[in-house]
Amino acid sequence: MKKLINQPDSFVRESLAGMAAAHSSLLKVNFEPTFVYRADAPVTGKVAIISGGGSGHEPMHAGFVGMGMLDAACPGEVFTSPTPDQMLAAAKQVDGGAGVLYIVKNYSGDVMNFEMATELARVEDIRVLNVLIDDDVAVQDSLYTQGRRGVGTTVLAEKICGAAAADGYNLPQVADLCRRVNLNGRSMGMALTSCTVPTKGSPTFSLGDREMEIGIGIHGEPGRERMSLKSVDEITEILALSIINDRRYSRTVREWDETQEEWVDVELVNSEFKSGDRVLAFVNGMGGTPLSELYIVYRKLAEICQKHGLQIMRNLIGNYITSLEMQGCSITLLKVDDEMLRLWDAPVKTASLCW
């Protein structure tokens, strides 16, 4: 496949260098170890928020570094988790004395490395908490996860929690809010085509001209079902109803307990959507889908939400959590309250989200 690159091995580094040159007033990039951070970091007295994951999902996460969102992002190589030393270095750079929250997508490598980074940071007297995002209703387990994958709700959590940190919330308050966002968000995606990792040079998987994959992961992981191509309205209905009809979901995750100074198991339970709920509707492109097509998806999604008594209070449409040049989309519905709406509306200025 043709790509605008020099050498595959320099893809991530040169992309980050270009981002730094284009947005020098917003962010800076450190190499060895690699992380992106706010140009004005650290912000004294403010909780710092850090996320990260494999590259190839841009603009997530580096595109969300800036005022009102992330203080730092740790990019790994394409579809490869960042390392603990990246996360620790980022925490040292952006900690303004109020502690650091790691927002972690539920992929085994990300979870393991952010846990190690949490322990390393605490040894160096940096107060760190971590919250897991696991909102993908498509499958219970996948190639890179135990439990549900972390996808679209990650973007929403980064915006809402970034606003809370800017508003003066303390570390436990921001962590509690992030956990609540995760518990109220659900997502599901689909693919019309595969994607090509630069170092591999060939598609991650193959789909026939008249095939699509429902429930695809953002790294090309298998979904629920491969089926014949359907109309956009039919696809939107499959995704939306999988989310709306998703049952109560219970699981156990590991979180750091500051009182006990150790990892503890925490049981989390998502409640079901019900008529009368207020939601934020997020229609996301997977990287190669035109915005015009995403608006067709949103048109049908709005109709489905109205039919099921869900009131769309806010929306986000565009390519925000991608899989390189994959054609496809995902839908995220987040059940919101007045606090979340206020924080969503709060000012944000990053390379990829600004209002």
Write out pLDDT tens, residues 30-50.
999 999 999 999 999 999 999
pLDDT > 70? residue 146: yes
Closest CA to 157 of 145, 140, 174: 174
Q: What is the pTM of this model?
A: 0.97
Residues of the chain with CATH 3.30.1180.20: 188-244+274-335
Q: What is the pLDDT averaged over residues 273-291?
A: 98
Cβ within 8 Å of residue 59, ≥6 positions away: 319, 320, 322, 351, 352, 353
pLDDT > 90? residue 214: yes
Please report which confidence band the pLDDT of residue 140 belongs to, taking 50, 70 and 90 as the band edges: confident
In sequence order, what DSSP letters do the residues of 80-134 get, joined into one string?
-PPPHHHHHHHHHHH--SS-EEEEEES-HHHHHHHHHHHHHHHHTT--EEEEEE-
- Contact present, 327 and 285 (Cβ < 8 Å): no
Closest CA to 156 of 133, 176, 190: 133
Q: Is the dihedral of CA 329, 324, 113, 14 positive or negative?
A: negative
**pLDDT score, position 143:** 62
Alpha-carbon distance of 128 to 49, in angstroms, equals: 10
**pLDDT score, position 205:** 85
**pLDDT score, position 1:** 78
Q: Compute the mean pLDDT over every residue in the chain, rounded to the nearest whole number.
A: 96
Closest CA to 249 of 177, 330, 187: 187
Helix (H, G, I), strand (E, B) or coil at 177: helix
How many CB atoms neighbour CB 73 within 10 A?
Answer: 30
**pLDDT score, position 145:** 66
Cβ within 8 Å of residue 168, ≥6 positions away: 46
Alpha-carbon distance of 68 to 71, in angstroms, equals: 9
Helix (H, G, I), strand (E, B) or coil at 310: coil
Q: Is the dihedral of CA 142, 236, 134, 328 positive or negative?
A: positive
**pLDDT score, position 233:** 98
Write out pLDDT tens, residues 96-105.
999 999 999 9
Lowest mean pLDDT segment, chosen from 140-149, 176-185, 214-223, 286-295: 140-149
The domain defined by 12-184 carries CATH number 3.40.50.10440: yes
Which residues carry out catalysis?
57, 219
Write out pLDDT tens, residues 337-351.
999 999 999 999 999
How many CB atoms neighbour CB 286 within 10 A?
Answer: 26
**pLDDT score, position 204:** 84
Residues of the chain with CATH 3.40.50.10440: 12-184
**pLDDT score, position 221:** 82
Please report which confidence band the pLDDT of residue 88 belongs to, taking 50, 70 and 90 as the band edges: very high
pLDDT > 70? residue 142: no
Alpha-carbon distance of 28 to 322, in angstroms, equals: 22
pLDDT > 70? residue 70: yes
CA-based radius of gyration for the chain: 19
Q: What is the pLDDT averaged over residues 217-222?
A: 85
Hey, what's the torsion of the CAs at 187, 159, 221, 83, to 10 degrees?
Answer: -150
More confident residue, 205 or 287: 287
* Phi, psi angles (nearest 5°) of residue 7: -115, 140
Q: What is the 3-state secondary structure (H, E, C) of 11-50?
A: HHHHHHHHHHHHCCCCEEEECCCCEEEECCCCCCCCCEEE
Residue type, 323: S
More confident residue, 144 or 243: 243
- The CATH T-level fold of domain 188-244+274-335 is Hypothetical Protein Tm841; Chain: A;domain 3 (3.30.1180)
How many CB atoms neighbour CB 69 within 10 A?
Answer: 29
Q: What is the pLDDT averaged over residues 63-88?
A: 97
Residue 108, both tokens? 């085994």
DSSP designation for 326? B
